[in-house]
Structure 1
Amino acid sequence: MSEGIDYGKLMHRAMRGLIQEVLEDVQSRGLPGEHHFFITFDTQHPETELADWLADRYPGEMTVVMQHWFDGLEVTDEGFSVTLNFGDAPERLYIPYDAIKTFVDPSVEFGLRFESQDEDDEDDDGPHPPEPPEDGQPPAREAHQDAEVVSLDRFRK
């Protein structure tokens, strides 16, 4: 049994489940209203499938748009495949959920960002929380910090 609850891994799993549910709805009913998606993904992920010329052009990550024209959306528990148009050249892509870096629907100002693609690896223990300082005070906030650890004593009366 593990030492603690890996909230980061659980949250990423839940967010990927949300993406799957949204895409399943689009697969069965189409995009409603003004909804559209910007999906950024890791083109080097071992399960990503895309044309060689796209992989060469986007060697690290790529953002695709699902809006006016897309075809053959197929959603599975591991990822989705879709045909998109790249300058009048339709190409089939397979994007595993684990390769997704961002998922944005600008029509409703909704977005998800996955900070690390390594957190779901079986060999990884997950993110490691910072060591609390010896004086019991919360650490000073650093630039570009994704989350701040806050002592609950600050809010107790």
Structure 2
Amino acid sequence: MPRYALKVNGATKAVDADADTPLLYVLRDDLELRGPRFGCGLGQCGSCTVHVNGAAVRSCVTPVSAVGRGAITTLEGLGSSARPSKLQQAFIDEQAAQCGYCINGMIMQAADLLKKNPKPSEQQIREGLAMNLCRCGTHKRIIRAVQRASDQPVTA
């Protein structure tokens, strides 16, 4: 079994995994990170989203071998419970989570969006998060959280 040296949240971690093992399994099972979640297993719901080299990717369909020496950031790498990132704090302030299952993907996708477009319109936020599913229906609060994090007027 190959050994991979993964740079996760700024620290290098060694893991043994088959080349086609989904990155999600390595992050959750081997590194015990709980931000990314298994949702659909097909890359369609977004609950497994992480950043690789700063770009949002679906870790359930990304083999660990595809990451190489790329920098991986998970929800835990954005901030902590003691010091949440501005975006995480906005989600807390807007009470954007109901069941919370989608929140990892929503925050990680929103972080990618805000990096590319620091002042997105409501429509751009909706489009940027369109491929992330939330079954609880907290979309308005999620949009408000992204607006709050981008210092935009809250309209949703």
Give the TM-score taking structure 2 as reference length: 0.25
From the CA coordinates, give the structure whose radius of gyration is larger.
1
TM-score (norm 1): 0.25
More strand by share: 1
